[in-house]
Amino acid sequence: MDKETEDKNMALEQTDGGPISVETGEAEKEKTDWIGEIKSISLLLLAVLAFHSLVAKPFYIPSVSMMPGLLVGDRLIVSKYAYGWSWVSPTFHILPRLQGRLFGSLPERGDVVILTPKDQSSDYIKRVIGLPGDTIELRGGQVFLNNVAVEQEVQPDLAIPVDANSPCGDNEFPGMRTTDAKGTMVCNVPILRETLPNGVSYDVIDMGQRYDVDEIEPVVVPEGHVYLMGDNRDQSADSRVSSALGGLGGPIPWENVGGRAEFITFSLDGSTGWNPLSWIGSFRSGRAGTSLRPARNELKPVSAAKPSPATAN
């Protein structure tokens, strides 16, 4: 048998009986490190939760209580560090309800904030009206702060386009659904511009006398508390409304405030479906990027009562 035939037979034997050489010519496939993958995903989730809890988080508007500034379907960003941190800061409210804040500061009158009520776990969004030491009273729907009427100026009616998220139903806005000059269905709501003593101005909706929310006896805001109201004054479960009726039941503790609303990221009209092609058409134009920090005018005279200081425990 010649050398060439012997080499061929040896190659066939190696093929039939399996490789006998340590070197196969191909790198072995590396096995997936599942433990390492799980650790990486867990760290990523922890980083996202930490960012949401300590820096900023998205928030969705589910009700009409903050109209006209905020509509159902608005998505916005809330800064979690604006007033320091407390038990309510984590995305999931898993901490015990402790008093005080870490690196805390009081909100300013007029700030729009998210909060967790004293006896609930869901988040609300309202506007800060009263600070510690203030006396809050409502007479005929007008706010009196330390026995001084908060300035209200009548504005032209606001025409809000009607859509699935803003249907302008008779239960909420009776008789206000109409069409504009272009034939577009709109909701004409009465607007008042309210200006607080620190010069902060914002628009509110007030559709008329509602004794249960328009006539409020004087309330002194305790130390370490804030008094909150919705901009839609006739349809907001805020500090004027008892806890039994879904409201805040008076001033709420400072540490229950979770952050400050900063700006709208985008807004949906409620027409979004499973078809991705419907998503683009469901965006409301002109709302993305809208700041939620109230306008500040020339300062008004300082009220007689000064807010008492609140310190973190």
Active site positions, annotated: 65, 126
Task: List, in order, residues 6 or more apart from 294 with CB less than 8 Å away.
Answer: 110, 111, 112, 200, 201, 202
Cα 122-124-129 angle, rounded to 5 deg = 145
How is 27-46 classified by DSSP, letter by letter?
PPPPPP-HHHHHHHHHHHHH
Handedness of CA 48, 53, 57, 62 (dihedral sign): positive
Cβ neighbourhood burial of 119 (10 Å; 0-12, 13-18, 19+): exposed
- Selection from 239, 141, 251 nearest residue 194 by Cα: 141
